[in-house]
A and B are shown apart, each in its own frame.
Chain A
């Protein structure tokens, strides 16, 4: 890796660190929210927005921008942190998370937040929405690409597989999925609740082009995103193996922090660890 590439990786890692600080701060302030799945997904989101994603922060509604569909909409702090670090949202926006009138609704909402392309909340719907965006782009002869962030627990929803089947059938080559494979869902580890097994092979069996990566290795994430630029066939699924709560020791691999905010003391510890 050349020096410029190393600098880029370091820059992205720093951006992810700042996003993590935002995530714990905003959930602490709201006294609610979902820090665990936000911390697991944030590295791949930073890598995407920092390299492949075509968007314009000064014009979030640009028609030919790539779309990002945050299907696991409860991980909204990751989206808001990213938009904050990119200058789309203000500090006051993220610190008003989950309060009346805030641009930062509990789950991501396209009608409330500039830079959000999908109104999520109920799991299992985002990939279908992304497919609709992808088919429309093709009808319009647009180069825009559609990225969908799925949770691994979310793949328990049958609708996800309806969409996986349909995307391949309709040759939606402009559709790309990242699965945040953190192995934990609301109540417990997936292996306790409903383990799905090898997600990548399931996508492959439906005709998808699949790569599996370490979802916290920024260099690996950047490399796989570069690969997607030249992949020649099929919708693409990147299975990002992650750790729920990544970056905050007491949240890591801890199902309790799926949907629980840090208290004052926990915030203090988290910020020390992220400094």
Chain B
């Protein structure tokens, strides 16, 4: 795996992917007055006849997308992550229950979105969509992986929710390594035998930073980009439970119901090994710079290091 290179926000990858998908005439894009933010605007610019403006009306957008999917289209509907939550029941009953292939993208997810404040910082989206039967839930870590995974959605069965992030982060992939990405298959970025750091979204970068810091202490980490929260790559979890014996999860999301919970559900019923979770602990955010907020809420590489040491101690003392 090559070293991270600079620059890309996962929402940019989503926008590029829509353009790559445009050759398929079934692909349609729905917007709710946030196309410039979610980056669906690039598709609109080139294919206005296949882009539908729904105004600031997310509930309507979800069911219009459902009607289009039932008519043979492959709709990609996007708005801010938090506003998709407004239409939760529409997604549950109107899209997922009939198994309609609508792909929802919630951008500006998590605390990372920053200065807009807590009303815009969705920290529960992965959790709520994970509870819906038939729903695939994806949270890429950079622009290249977001692009690749979005492109794969075209031929993926059933509805999906993808969370993208507002801000640029160092790339975890390059044009070659991104080709190895597969929906539903966790991506191993580094291999070590002491602890597995399993992260998603912007926390993948923090996990790699933590692995680097821990290596100075002689701790060897496996780092996984678990971009697909559901279906969870339990085969990889099984392997890591054997090879590392303890896990740290890291997510810019509540510890209730997200990646850490998903991992916990699996290991507690299959291979109970120590798990420590890094994530938002039952609180809302506030306005602030991304770095200040991530520090305030313990979403940092230092938090991951602390969690890793604790997990290793628990493993060794058991």
Contacts and interface: CB of A to CB of B under 8 A. Distances in A.
Contact of A132 (B57, B63, B89, B99): B63
Interface string B72-110: 110100000000000001100110011100000000000
Interface string A130-157: 1111111101100000000000000000
Interface stretch (B47-55, B206-214, B273-281): B47-55
Contact of A125 (B52, B68, B69, B93): B93
B70 interface: yes
A166 interface: yes
Contact of A111 (B55, B65, B99): B99
A119 B69 CA distance: 13
Nearest to B69: A132
Contact of A119 (B60, B68, B71, B97): B97
B52 A133 contact: no
Nearest to B65: A132
A51 interface: no
Nearest to A160: B60
A162 B60 contact: yes
A174 to B, nearest CB: 12
Contacts of A121: 93
What's the dominant secondary structure at chain B's contact region? helix
A49 interface: no
A128 B55 CA distance: 13
Contacts of B89: 122
B299 interface: no
Given A133-B68, A137-B71, A125 B55 contact: no
B98 A159 contact: no
B98 A109 contact: yes
B64 A135 contact: yes
Nearest to A73: B93
B98 A162 contact: no
Given A119-B94, A163-B60, A170 B52 contact: yes
Given A125-B90, A135-B64, A166 B57 contact: yes
Contact of B73 (A63, A117, A136, A163): A136
Contact of B64 (A63, A110, A111, A128): A128
Chain A: interface size category = 20 to 34
Chain A binding surface SS class:
helix
A166 B52 CA distance: 10
Interface string A160-204: 001101100110000000000000000000000000000000000
Contacts of A129: 63-64, 66-67, 70, 94
A117 B71 CA distance: 10
B204 interface: no
6 A-B pairs with least C-beta separation? A132-B67, A128-B63, A136-B71, A162-B60, A162-B57, A132-B64
29 contacts: A63-B72, A110-B70, A121-B93, A122-B90, A122-B93, A122-B94, A124-B59, A125-B94, A126-B63, A128-B62, A128-B94, A131-B60, A131-B63, A131-B67, A132-B63, A132-B69, A132-B71, A136-B67, A136-B71, A139-B50, A140-B71, A159-B57, A159-B90, A162-B54, A162-B60, A163-B60, A163-B64, A165-B55, A166-B54
Interface of A: 63, 69, 109-111, 117-119, 121-122, 124-126, 128-137, 139-140, 158-159, 162-163, 165-166, 169-170
